[in-house]
Amino acid sequence: MEALIALGVILVFILFVLVRSVRIVPQATASVVERLGRYNRTLTPGLALLVPFVDRVRARIDLREQVVSFPPQPVITADNLNVGMDTVVYFQVTDPKDATYGIANYIQAMEQLTVTTLRNVVGGLNLEETLTSRDAINSQLRSVLDGTTGSWGIRVARVEIKAIDPPGTILESMEKQMKADRDKRAMILNAEGMRESTIKTAEGQKQSQILQAQGNKQATILNAEAERQGAILRAEGLRAARFLEAQGQAKAIETVFAAIHAGDPDPQLLAYQYLQTLPQIAKGDSNKMWIVPSEFSRALEGLGRAVGGGSGGDSGGSGDGAPAWLRAERTTRREESEPIDTGGWFDSNLAPAAQQPEAETPMSDTTPSGVSVPSLAAAKQDVAPTPNALRPPDSPPPPPPPGAEPGSPQLPQGS
């Protein structure tokens, strides 16, 4: 029984020795081993064997990059303002032996070193520079910490300022200043906007007035040109109308003249036409008194003889006192006149006024061939109703009235 107990104790002791001798080191971790109180070696990740009761693990060091956030620290700026600043340090242990034996607590050491370095850097800056120079402060902190912690087996990767807390009064002043700056910028932008709007409006009005003036100018020019063209076309149309009217009148006069000569009227027909013309002479609202010409009774006597076919005694007179143009006998036979061609009298297919022949041809070239245009005095003299123009060629001319000039036209005498 005692042997079994002893054997059990021996087995337990062997297990204890084995547990104390075998160590498993995790990845990214290093263990510092001391032998009899002195540094022996650093265990790397994996399985390691120790000498029982001789070797012991002093510290287990994490080799990964670590992040430490330090609480806010009061810092005085160059303009004597108390500002609270908290920082964040990113570091990594590169030498477990130095981190174990080089310093007692490297985290606390880095905190104190960060605070002192931060106060030294921020003390040379005012509040505005401190708020706007975070990158420069971070670089200086990292440079100082990395240079100091190198002997501790620690590498400082980055140092960041997490927050800067000015005093409440300073925050209120800053808010007022920012509000004033925003109001100032708003007023400036508003003024610039009004200025640009006024300029654009003035430029638009200027362009509008210029375009309106140009439009009025073009409209005036076009209206004047239209009036000019209209006046020219109206004048050309009036000219063509007068020319055609003159041509028509000339053709009518020529036709009437040719018809009269071709018809060869006898004295009785002339007497009848004379009697029909007398009422038209007396027609008029302004005529108060009308003297019957002496030729009227003689024309009646001659017309009576022509109708009755008798002698002068049937009428109560001898007929010797009748005018010569009533006593004349027809000595020539009326020749057969040719029919008048009126096919082109009413042709209205006219070219434009500007292309009318009368627009470029003088008046002397527009008269028909063989027809001469007499003067106004000659025309008046040709159409004057004188007895000499209507008397037969074999009858003697009547004596001129007393007081008449030789060669002047003779008119019928009133009774």
Q: Which domains does the chain have, with CATH numbers?
A: 2-62 (no CATH), 65-166 (3.30.479.30)
* β-pair partners for 93: 154
At 30, the pLDDT band (50, 70, 90 cuts) reads very high
For 83-138, what is each residue's pLDDT tens digit?
Answer: 989 899 999 999 999 999 988 898 999 999 999 999 999 988 888 888 888 899 99
At 408, the pLDDT band (50, 70, 90 cuts) reads very low
Residue 357 has pLDDT above 90, yes or no: no
Residue reference for tokens 């975070």: 134
Structure tokens at 86: 């908290």
| Of 14-18, 132-136, 242-246, the least confident | 14-18
Collapsing DSSP to helix, strand or coil, 71 comes out as coil
Q: Please check whether residue 280 is in contact with residue 300, taking contact to mean a CB–CB distance below 8 angstroms.
A: no
What's the sign of the alpha-carbon dihedral 301, 306, 308, 314?
positive
Percent of the chain at pLDDT > 70 equals 66
Residue 347 has pLDDT above 60, yes or no: no
pLDDT (0 to 100) of residue 327: 55
**335 versus 281: which is more confidently predicted?**
281
**35 versus 396: which is more confidently predicted?**
35
For 127-150, what is each residue's pLDDT tens digit?
Answer: 888 888 889 999 999 999 988 888
The span from the first CA to the last CA of the chain, in angstroms, equals 208
pLDDT (0 to 100) of residue 374: 46
pLDDT (0 to 100) of residue 187: 94
Nearest to 300 by CA among 322, 327, 324: 322
Question: What's the mean per-residue pLDDT of the chain?
Answer: 76
pLDDT (0 to 100) of residue 254: 85
What's the sign of the alpha-carbon dihedral 106, 112, 115, 120?
negative
Residue 241 has pLDDT above 70, yes or no: yes
Residue reference for tokens 């007081």: 403
**412 versus 95: which is more confidently predicted?**
95
Residue 333 has pLDDT above 80, yes or no: no
Q: Using CA atoms, how far apart are residues 312 and 319, in angstroms rounded to an integer?
A: 5
Mean pLDDT to the nearest integer, 388-409: 46
Nearest to 84 by CA among 93, 76, 92: 76
Stated pTM of the model: 0.44
Residue 71 has pLDDT above 80, yes or no: yes
Q: Please check whether residue 88 is in contact with residue 159, taking contact to mean a CB–CB distance below 8 angstroms.
A: yes
pLDDT (0 to 100) of residue 54: 86
The angle at the Cα of 34, spanning 28 to 37, to the nearest 5 degrees, equals 150
* Strongest mean pLDDT among 141-145, 341-345, 347-351, 357-361: 141-145
Q: Using CA atoms, how far apart are residues 29 and 101, in angstroms rounded to an integer?
A: 17
Residue 400 has pLDDT above 80, yes or no: no
Structure tokens at 356: 């009318």
pLDDT (0 to 100) of residue 156: 92
Q: Please check whether residue 40 is in contact with residue 34, taking contact to mean a CB–CB distance below 8 angstroms.
A: yes
Mean pLDDT to the nearest integer, 192-218: 93
Q: Using CA atoms, how far apart are residues 114 and 86, in angstroms rounded to an integer?
A: 10
At 369, the pLDDT band (50, 70, 90 cuts) reads very low
**361 versus 194: which is more confidently predicted?**
194
**376 versus 129: which is more confidently predicted?**
129
* Strongest mean pLDDT among 273-282, 302-311, 356-365, 397-406: 273-282
Residue 360 has pLDDT above 60, yes or no: no
At 376, the pLDDT band (50, 70, 90 cuts) reads very low
pLDDT (0 to 100) of residue 349: 54
At 299, the pLDDT band (50, 70, 90 cuts) reads low
Structure tokens at 103: 């310093």
Alpha helices in 46-150 (DSSP H): 96-101, 106-122, 127-132, 134-149
